Amino acid sequence: MTQATGSIQGTVTDSSDTPIFGAVVTVEGADGNPRTTVSDGEGAFKISSLALGNYSVKVSASGMSDWTAQDVPASVTPATKPVLAVLQVAPEVTTVTVGLPPEEVAEQQLHQELKQRALGIIPNYYVTYENHPAPLSPMQKLHLGLRTLLDPATIGLVEATAGIQQAMNSYHQFGQGAEGFGKRFAADYGAALNHMVITSVAADSILHQDPRYFYSGQGTKARRALYAIESAFRAKGDNGKWQPPYADLIGTTASAEMSNIYYPGSRTQYTLLGRSLMFHFAGLVAVNLAEELFLKKATSNTPGICLPA
């Protein structure tokens, strides 16, 4: 039997009603296990998949006095009574106890994401099921990319791709046999490496964009499908706001240019770039639709999956 769950959501502002971005919100129930998130660019936060009951809520931000509330219910319809946390500037004589900084919250959430595997095999690291996840630091984006590239399932997928190419005699200039397979594998793995490092690490860090897919799970299937498609053509900034996908465009363009070095053939740069952009965004649409509509139930270690009672 599936256990019912609820959520706690609300907004964090200062005394002038200005939203506070990056405030650390912690809820703790009778089991003593805290759940933590951070407020987004609008000051909003939400923590889902909570067992029904009452929780204590603590909100912390640098330079502000902590805000706390007791007996806040986690309900199925939290929007009927959202939490409004109004933080006051801390007097100089007051000792302020600030919770975990956003980077440590992000580290905890990243640790969770790196356990996620679709069908128990395929790494599903680049999706977050948190309602308002903390932004990743450049080092955390690098760590996420390296873990994906070095995962045995990723290497196996590249090997399978190289094998299919060899069977179809794609890039015939590479030849056949072990040498031909090795060249195809190196080219395919190099393409994955280039795109990951240039886009999901370097460009996303410089432009302060987040490389992950932000699972919604809200609304009808049609609305969720539209959200997934839209997400392929936009990116969420580290400030919690949606932006044009600058990092994706830069990364795809740079990877296409570099592919000319190790992929044989007579394609022009413009043809290769056009194909790369087309396949990249078409692939993102397909992956996002799968993430939004199917993969959560098939992914292990995701928050919010209730075990039978």
Expressed as residue numbers, the domain containing 29 is 5-87
Q: Exposed (0-12), middle (13-18) or buried (19+): which is 128, by Cβ within 10 Å?
A: buried
Q: How far apart are CA 72 and CA 30, in angstroms?
A: 12
- CA angle, 263 then 267 then 272, to 5°: 80
If one counts every other C-beta atom within 10 angstroms of the C-beta of residue 241, the result is 12
Query: In this predicted structure, which of 20-29, 71-80, 123-132, 189-198 has the lowest mean pLDDT?
Result: 71-80
Task: Assess if residue 63 is contained within a domain.
Answer: yes
Whether residues 56 and 141 share a domain: the answer is no
For the chain, give the percent of residues with pLDDT over 90: 49
Whether residues 23 and 172 share a domain: the answer is no
Supply 255's token pair: 């990877």
pLDDT of residue 100: 65
Whether residues 165 and 281 share a domain: the answer is yes
pLDDT of residue 306: 39
Whether residues 186 and 130 share a domain: the answer is yes
To the nearest whole number, what is the mean pLDDT of the chain? 86
Whether residues 22 and 164 share a domain: the answer is no
pLDDT in tens, 163-177: 999 999 999 999 999
Residue that finishes a domain, picked among 87, 117, 138: 87
Q: Which residue has the tokens 């640790």?
A: 111
pLDDT of residue 268: 53
pLDDT of residue 89: 83
Answer whether residue 141 shows pLDDT above 70: yes
pLDDT of residue 42: 85
Average pLDDT of span 18-26: 88
Whether residues 155 and 270 share a domain: the answer is yes
Task: Assess if residue 306 is contained within a domain.
Answer: no
* Burial state string for 170-202 with b = 16 or more CB within 10 A and e = fewer than 16: ebeebeeeeebbebbbebbbbbbebbbbbbbbb
Whether residues 70 and 162 share a domain: the answer is no
Whether residues 24 and 126 share a domain: the answer is no
pLDDT in tens, 264-291: 875 555 555 667 778 888 999 999 999 9
Q: Are 68 and 85 in contact (CB under 8 A)?
A: no
pLDDT of residue 308: 36
Name which residue leads in pLDDT, 294 or 280.
Answer: 294
**What is the spatial order of strands in the sheet that 242-243 belongs to?**
209-210, 235-237, 242-243
